[in-house]
Structure 1
């Protein structure tokens, strides 16, 4: 298994990282991709990736951490990425980037914030295209805006919409745009009937699995720190929801992850 979205740097602030990695490996997690969220964590996640052969990372600005982000910030992102490319194949994507309209309310200029998020997302996609890498996309309450933007500024090397919980129609629109669907612990909740039904029907060759640890705990583990070892339970739930054999699902997910992020054995 490859955990395609795990904030290991945030886990390290909460518990012993060595134990977390040992538990993940024992559970069958052979690779972990750590997304960037802002300039403050880029160095930490790059160091993690250089210290561990099974850890990879991405560089980007999370849409909820754009306060103070300017054109100069984007230039620094490009410079850091150029430096990262001088190291052995550990920076495998651009992101986490995207659109998040969930918290927009009366305390901000909604249209201004939306335009800022869209412009910075475009910058991420253009960098990914130049770098020949996929993008890791975050989207909440903004699927229509996201798809409209992706049609105009297409990620040439694809990407993943992580932690997907939308409709079947939305998922298929992303797939038509060359975007994989990130499947997380939400499918472990029986009440998430729409998401479970959607994931059960989507083309297997466009699915990835993730934990989004330390957040997004699985059903029955609320209140506990989510860890990459929990990926095995997400996989088990996915296998239960699908019509294919366990071996087929597991093998295809592994192939999908390695193909999208250019991870070699």
Structure 2
């Protein structure tokens, strides 16, 4: 039997930036917050790669917008690490936000204002509730990414809360007002088409035995549908397709289907620990 060619389109990116404005108001408490201070003994460089003076000292003053005071800019990020189905999901987004805020504040903040970070845990099913909290507290959401992000679009756009997300899953979130994607993720084409072409050129026989495990959740399934269609357009022969629930207790049936169907090329719309569990069942 051929060795499996595993291609798992799992991409998590983070981007931190600023540059929007919205109406001011009182901030609501909620979520986890990172201190806006720094214990660094000397001011760090505010250069971020080739970008100069991203953060640094200054004399900005005034409560000019929601989440902004004389001394602080309150920003939020949001993801799903506290859910019970897949604990720790995208904890990396919170970790990245913590790291950036600490670095920026050590360099002097934004024109002297220190960043204060809210980490809103949507736990998969609480996106709308957390979005309402963020609306009453934050200047902007930055570096966020929620698996079921479509459920928070209405709340965010109605309150005028901008977001510069790490990623958007649904077309509704990606195309919403006040949504900025630092790294574009188009919802009308597959992002793995190039990899599919390389794989077909490397082993045209293997791609005639293509399998995919997608998701039952529409926001994730949308991406899987694009990748599946791309494979078909490139002449892949599909031997097995299934859709995963949010939580899987027994991976053996999926593993057995991959084997009995003779899959040689496989893609999976999920996270790395799901793939690890599946591989253990083969």
Common fold: TM-score over 0.5: no
Q: Provide TM-score, normalisation by structure 1.
A: 0.30
Q: Which has the higher helix share?
A: 1
Q: Which structure would you say has the larger Rg?
A: 2
Q: Provide TM-score, normalisation by structure 2.
A: 0.29
